[in-house]
Amino acid sequence: MILGIGHDIVHLPRFVSLLHTRSHRRVARLAQRVLHPVYERPQFDAALAAAAAAAAATTNVSDKVAGGKNKELVRAAHLLANAWACKEALYKALDETDQPDCRFNAWYKHKPGTNKTTTTTRTTRNTGKPAIACDAYAAAHPAETFWLSVSHDGDYLTAFVVREGKSLQ
């Protein structure tokens, strides 16, 4: 039974601009609030470090100013935008009573086999369908699964989440 649905769309150049124009401290704070510390943050930090190294190695001033030519910066922006859209869609699929306790960095997206948590095995049942999970939420709501669909075209990325409830019989 469908218990909730959520959708979000993001403009990818906005995230590229955000990473290019904001201080490292503000970007780190946003990443800390949005990205799961184990399953998402390491990839983002690696892409951001590679972007900084690429920018430092660039001798072309216009490339440093534009930021958009730095493929690693664009990759980091896409990782952050993807997580943001998925978690905004997830938030919209939650009950109003659960929304105040929703912490974006506690949730992570996955496919079967990408990590070995019990939540992954339980929620996806090895179907291969992408899902989004939070171990604490799953423990409190064992009959619920969150299915995820992400699509991008050009400058836009969209995420759709379906919150499914199953009978515990």
The string of pLDDT tens digits covering residues 54-66 is 888 876 655 554 5
Q: What does the pLDDT look like over 9-32, one tens digit per residue?
A: 999 999 999 998 878 889 999 999
Q: What is the pLDDT of residue 57?
A: 82
How large is the average pLDDT for residues 109-115? 61
Burial 11-38 (b: 16+ CB within 10 A, else e): ebbebbeebbeeeeeebeebbeebbbee
Spatial distance between the Cα atoms of 79 and 21, rounded to a whole number of angstroms: 17
Q: What is the pLDDT of residues 84-95, one digit of tens each?
A: 999 999 999 999
pLDDT in tens, 125-156: 556 778 899 999 999 999 998 999 999 999 99
Q: Counting runs of H as helices and runs of E as strands, what totals does the chain give?
A: 7, 5
89-117: average pLDDT: 81
pLDDT of residue 134: 92
| E strands present in the chain | 2-11, 108-110, 131-133, 144-153, 156-165
Q: Which fold has domain 2-165?
A: Ribosomal Protein L22; Chain A (3.90.470)
**Alpha-carbon span 24 to 52, nearest angstrom:** 10
What pLDDT was estimated at residue 59? 64
